[in-house]
């Protein structure tokens, strides 16, 4: 049996590789310059969420500390020792759910999840003169957080 010339095989393999690369490059260039994506553009809408808070002492509405009300709605209240305050939260917005965060000193307390148009009322009993900061966030929080039930003692 006669063997082919090894140099001839190397040349033939080289020509085949060059032809394959040329075809791949040609087809890739054709696809790159002729491809298109058809479809409608997506609309991105941002959600919003807010909670209105009403803090009352008896029949009197308590007002936030001057200068503490921020554009986002966050604010602070001064609570007097030995008083019982009624707190009503009214959620609004376009997102599915959110919650309120009350901070007294280092302690944070969280309201239950509130969907827009939901209302939640609870009582705050102040055992000392404290400042309670209020803020709200949309989304959900972890189950391990300190959640406000019917009465919050601060």
User: Which pLDDT tens digit goes with each residue over 12-46?
Assistant: 999 999 999 999 999 999 988 887 777 888 888 88
- Inside any domain, residue 32: no
Q: Is the pLDDT of residue 1 over 60?
A: no
The share of the chain scoring above pLDDT 70, in percent, equals 88
pLDDT at res. 143 = 59
Could you give phi then psi for residue 86, rounded to 5 degrees?
-100, 130
Q: Extract the tokens encoding 97.
A: 């759910």
DSSP readout, 19-81? HHHHHHHHHHHHHHHH-----PPPP-----EEEEEEEEETTEEEPPPTT---TTS-EEEEE-T
pLDDT at res. 64 = 85
Residue-range definition of the domain harbouring residue 105: 49-153
pLDDT at res. 9 = 86
- Inside any domain, residue 59: yes
CATH of the domain at 99: 2.60.120
- Inside any domain, residue 136: yes
- Inside any domain, residue 67: yes
User: Which pLDDT tens digit goes with each residue over 68-107?
Assistant: 777 767 888 888 888 999 989 898 888 888 888 888 888 8
- Inside any domain, residue 106: yes
Pairing mode, strands 60-62 and 49-57? antiparallel
Angle at 78 between CA 103 and CA 104, to 5 degrees: 20
Residue 55 contacts residue 85 (beta carbons within 8 Å): yes
Q: Extract the tokens encoding 123.
A: 């009582």
What sign results for the dihedral spanned by CA atoms 58, 107, 78, 76? negative
- Inside any domain, residue 98: yes
Domains identified in the chain, total number: 1
- Inside any domain, residue 35: no
- Inside any domain, residue 128: yes
Angle at 150 between CA 149 and CA 154, to 5 degrees: 80
Local confidence band at 52 (pLDDT 50, 70, 90 cut-offs): confident
């Amino acid at each position: 049996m006669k063997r082919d010339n090894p140099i001839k095989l190397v040349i033939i393999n080289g020509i085949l590789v060059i032809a394959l690369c040329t075809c791949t490059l040609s087809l890739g260039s054709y696809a790159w310059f002729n491809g298109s994506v058809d479809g409608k553009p997506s609309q991105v809408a941002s959600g919003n969420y807010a909670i209105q808070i009403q803090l009352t002492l008896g029949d009197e509405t308590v007002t936030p500390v001057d200068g503490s009300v921020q554009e986002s709605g966050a604010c602070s209240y001064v609570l007097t020792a030995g008083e019982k305050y009624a707190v009503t939260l009214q959620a609004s917005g376009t997102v599915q759910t959110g919650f309120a965060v009350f901070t007294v000193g280092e302690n944070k307390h969280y309201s239950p999840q509130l969907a827009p148009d939901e209302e939640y009322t609870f009582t705050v009993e102040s055992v000392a003169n404290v400042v309670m900061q209020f803020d709200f966030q949309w989304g959900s929080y972890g189950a391990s957080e300190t959640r406000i039930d019917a009465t919050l003692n601060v």
